[in-house]
Structure 1
């Protein structure tokens, strides 16, 4: 028989456990938010560099080679370790500027000679456009993630407190998402028996995926429906034995496998109301 745990101790443990749970969750969200903001700043910087390169490229394509050359040399000095091949652009601008000062026949011959350089620049521009599209997509994705995390940090329903009894009459101290004055969404509840549940809720009942811990060290990870273990789940014992399989109304029902403490299969087959009725050979 399990020892009865003092109510004051349970309330203290419940308060401390819930507080730590949401403290760690808040710290984690803030760290994620900071990381996303750093990523957004890096993407913004890359986009700014890309737009500046494209602006000067447009000057070059318009035929103002001297202005483009000066811009490449002066305005892009801050761009370091970049994929834009600035030296190639500078070299091409210098060649075009030299060609402009020669006669028409020389220009024609030189244009043929430098055709490869022009084609290379055209390919680079196409590559840059792909880079811009990728950066834009990454920026938009990061903005959406930032907005989501900010909503989570500011969502008061993540920390509302409720007290109610479950179907078995056990008192539940609940902290989590609340809708219509009932536990709905994700939350943590500590029972007056010393047990604890973390997971999904629907109208004050465990519903969806969750984990239930008993005071004696046993715990269950899996599906719930109507406040009972229903669906696929795994039950663990302190001696490292476990059952993996189907459940119905808090009992092993359906196909399942029982593992020994060494991790080897002890038995498997068809279960009914916690009993193996048909062993699989």
Structure 2
């Protein structure tokens, strides 16, 4: 069914003063949106740059940018010496998911979140035979459609019981001396991402070997520097999230105004 020709459409216009007020109001919203978007984009760009400069490059022992008071070289240690791994869910069928008193961390919950909690879980039955996810564990994806997206990580910040991990990921339980906030970002920094992407194998879908991941060397500073770095990036992420929320709310206000301010 074709629409009516333009010349047959009816348009409604208020008096000039009202036109000017409506235009000025909507322009001010657009300016706020553009300002928030610029701030958000600058923070995202800053985070990307700092993930390169605040961690040593492959073969190096010190980062380009450091906090004042830190100068000692970082230790380079294979992951297998920094903790132990465990597998995700096993022996489950489609009907087991989406119900029950337990939880499982979804694949996208790991992929999309540097730090994760119960907000990225789905329901499943309690099963003592499965590996439970504990606070401070690092969760890794083992499969992706591109080699550059394989091995994404997320630190589990929740402390609920009966939480398991989906079968397309594996868990890593680090030594108590390692700071969770630091681990959340060292595994997403350029140095580690370059090394893990080299392990991706496949054609239409890419996978990594948990055993080979555990051989990757990781650069680790002392605990005080770990804490400083982790706090810095966590604060950046909070600011990015705040700006994203403000943008979403302002977009909703604009949409509502466009709907209600015109006939």
TM-score range, shorter chain: 0.3 to 0.5
Structure with the higher fraction of residues in strand conformation? 1
User: TM-score, length-normalised on structure 2?
Assistant: 0.33
User: Which structure's CA Rg is the greater one?
Assistant: 1
